[in-house]
Structure 1
Amino acid sequence: MIILGWLVGFLVVDVSLRVSRWWDGRRDRVVIRQIMADGVSPVQAAFQRAHWMPHAAEVALAGLLADGVAQVSDDGLVTVEESAPLPVDPTLRALAEALRDRAEPTPLYEVASEPEFEAFRRGVLDGAPPLKRYNGSQRTGLIWFGFLISLGTGLHGGLAGAPAPGGIEEAEFWAAVPLFCWPVLCLWAALTWPGSFTPRWPDFERYCAAVADAVLARTPPRDLAALRLHRIRPRPPEPTRAASGERRGGDDVLDWGGDADGGGGDGE
């Protein structure tokens, strides 16, 4: 009965956490249903999929290329002509206007970082639904609560002098109870609860991935490959060893006040 009572306590906490998680996610479920009913823009879908601005910029530029608003060179630089039609979507329109007004062609990574494209990035962030991306730490908490339950069971039985089944020595039995009970409770938590950094809404993320991939699929492969040449800002080149050695050698030359011949005396 002691073991049963403590296990019931564990199950009560487990059910309470599940009810709390369901209640906590009710607002997110309403938002997701509304988004999936109304549709989501490819740029917002890309950001919701990866939560990474370069990916949102990539999908946005791919959409402009697919619609003929922008052009990309073989080396991955994007331009928008003055006469190009501007998109209706306000976020894409802000991007197209910034590209058109810029005096030089633009690589992908600059859209995600340069101040000229702040209006585009602000539109992406403002339009992102306020959803919880990952599951919480309930599984970890339940595992540690299982440890307390296991320890409490053994202490309770041992201090109460409860009889052990099968003629086993009481002290040995209750000392061994936590060693067997905790792995079982850990296995229960691991199999029935999602991990802390697993997606909270996987169906919605798959929906967003499909919307974003549809834009990439209709972009000409040549344009997409060129665009992806500059997804990440390149690192500045490091100074060469020869240049570093020259600086160090120059720094080591000291002037002791002598002439070029090395003489520093008062005459012969």
Structure 2
Amino acid sequence: MKDIIMKRFNKSSIALTLLLSLPVANTYAALPLTAEESNNLIPYKEISVTGSYLQAQNAADDISKAADEAGAKYYHITGIEQPATGTSTDRAIVYADIYLSNAPIAVSKDEATHNGIVLYPRSKALYYLPFEIVKFKGSYNNTSEIMDSASKIAAEKNAYAFYVYSITADDVKNNEQEIDVALYKKDAPVRDFIISKAIAGQDAYEITSDAFKVMKPYQTIVFHGTFNNTSEISAAAQKYAIANDAHFYYVKEVSANRADTAQTVYVNLYK
């Protein structure tokens, strides 16, 4: 991924660190990413522009400006769509994903340990079924202190691994937080309501159609793009699920637009 990004931006002398972490202010408009470059990045959100565009790339300048105004550093055009009504045959809506300068990269992380207990990365924590979820409260100065307390609870419960599911402010005045920590056995079973796939780098999982019938989503999102198959739709939906901090997702509906125009995708999000 680093080699791809560096090759792409060598001519304009934009360092890789700008994309990954540095919030450097400049006067340049947002820059385009190829499909390959955007593949492992998590989008900030979707934007669109409407104008007289015969092709999606004709809207690049307008997309770049809109992305820049939204505080993004990069964009990737995902599709073009003819409006339902209009006065011109070249009137079109062009959609794009936009990315911040520190857009998170979807890569797997090495496992760490705390007090001898494995700290599962999010990908494994969501993939496997915990044997217990414990709630506790306390006043903590940083996440390191929270991890220390969570791992000690895991050790007391004879857990092989743990994952801190959520941290919420329970008493703001006294700086007290409420923490949910999931505990796992070494041979923990895979959750039976997700579509099984390789867990490396997966920070949100697609649920089955049976689970969709009984699980209640906390949000439904919409995005657009041109897709060749359901696998591409699912991959895009997963990125948007991660961007919205969802644990699981389900592609509820996909519009049947004509070839080479943007499809509208509706996705349910779950914790």
Pick the TM interval, shorter chain: under 0.3
Higher helix share: 1
Higher strand share: 2
TM-score normalised by length of structure 1: 0.19
TM-score normalised by length of structure 2: 0.19
State which structure, 1 or 2, has the greater radius of gyration over its C-alpha atoms.
1
